[in-house]
Structure 1
Amino acid sequence: MPVTTKLKGNDVSLYGNQVNVGDNAPVVTLPNSALEEITIGGAQGKAQLIIAVPSLDTPVCATETRKFNEQAAAVEGAAVCVVSMDLPFAAKRFCSTEGIENVQVLSDFRDKCFSVNYGTLIAEGPLRGLSARAVFVVNKEGKITYKELVPEITAEPDYETALNALKEAAK
């Protein structure tokens, strides 16, 4: 049975390998806004908060990125990244405009390797080809300890629960 989320109340199927709590976090390499290759997932020796958003150029994604930029920076021993399909150049402009300095902003535009490996690629509808909104926490050993596939793409995630899971994984 395909995994779905909702877009404005309508079911939307997702494509890719569904990962869940207890699974090894897939290792993927994505460009940041300076076109440097950054590897996320797997055992990194620190906790990771990996946030998937459709596009930084939407109000909900921008708000989410700003909130995690402010709140997750206080978690010692953790790395935080936001993954979208935005081009690195657009992500760089967004980070400059919004003062995003505490999270890595990564692009999945090349081959959608993150979205396919984490099961967040939207397979149908007006946002087809973008990523659904999701949050993953990966512990130091590379295991997924928290996952939230936000049930409505236009809604924000549960910040408090995600940040508490990150703090726990960073211990």
Structure 2
Amino acid sequence: MVTFLGNPVSFTGKQLQVGDKALDFSLTATDLSKKSLADFNGKKKVLSVVPSIDTGICSTQTRRFNEELAGLDNTVVLTVSMDLPFAQKRWCGAEGIENAIMLSDYFDHSFGRDYALLINEWHLLARAVFVLDTDNTIRYVEYV
């Protein structure tokens, strides 16, 4: 049984597995533009999914992924949360992280449903990491 803050929670959708093709998405960037997988064609992608950027663990995860992977060629780190784009942008400024790609699923929660990460009871995303190759095949996945 999965719990959040000690309470049982449920999810919508089917978890993705290694070898699956990543599902396309439409997420909102901090400049309010829409981003999809196609915007990162030809690059390896790390999808770092967090419940909220304004929590200690999520903040640490986001900072660490961006620091550790910044030097990798042809690789982008996409941090996804339910936070409003304004909150994501504020966090980047407060943390001094200039090149982070922050994406929000606040609008319709479709990413959360499609990737089986939407915590139905809280309308937050569960923590997860997906590593995609240049063809958007999932090479690593961890649902936390």
- Give the structure-2-normalised TM-score: 0.91
Aligned match of 1:20 in 6, 17, 20? Answer: 17
Query: 2:13 & 2:25 partners in 1: Cα distance?
Result: 14
Q: What SS is found at the alignment partner of 1:146?
A: strand
Q: Does 1:140 align with 2:143?
A: no
Q: What SS is found at the alignment partner of 2:16?
A: coil
Aligned match of 1:72 in 63, 69, 72? Answer: 69
Stretches of structure 1 lacking an aligned partner (at least 5 in a row): 151-171
Q: Does 1:46 align with 2:40?
A: no
CA contact (8 A) 1:43 1:139 kept: no
Aligned match of 2:34 in 25, 33, 37? Answer: 37
CA contact (8 A) 1:27 1:42 kept: no
User: Offset of 1:42 from its aligned partner?
Assistant: 9.7
Letter in 2 for 1:19: L
Stretches of structure 2 lacking an aligned partner (at least 5 in a row): none
Match of 1:162 in 2: none
**Structure 1 residues 42 and 142, CA, compared in 2 at 3 Å: closer, same or farther?**
farther
Count, aligned residues = 144
Q: What SS is found at the alignment partner of 1:82?
A: strand
Q: What SS is found at the alignment partner of 2:46?
A: strand
- Which 10-residue stretch deviates more, 97-106 or 107-116? 97-106
User: Offset of 1:133 from its aligned partner?
Assistant: 0.2
Query: 1:29 & 1:117 partners in 2: Cα distance?
Result: 11
Query: 2:3 & 2:64 partners in 1: Cα distance?
Result: 23
Query: 2:84 & 2:51 partners in 1: Cα distance?
Result: 12
Letter in 2 for 1:62: S
Percent of residue pairs identical: 44
CA contact (8 A) 2:92 2:100 kept: no
Letter in 2 for 1:120: L
Query: 2:90 & 2:39 partners in 1: Cα distance?
Result: 29
- Which 10-residue stretch deviates more, 41-50 or 14-23? 41-50
- Which 10-residue stretch deviates more, 97-106 or 57-66? 97-106
Q: What SS is found at the alignment partner of 1:28?
A: coil
CA contact (8 A) 1:43 1:143 kept: no
User: Offset of 1:66 from its aligned partner?
Assistant: 0.8
Aligned match of 2:103 in 97, 106, 128? Answer: 106
- Give the structure-1-normalised TM-score: 0.78
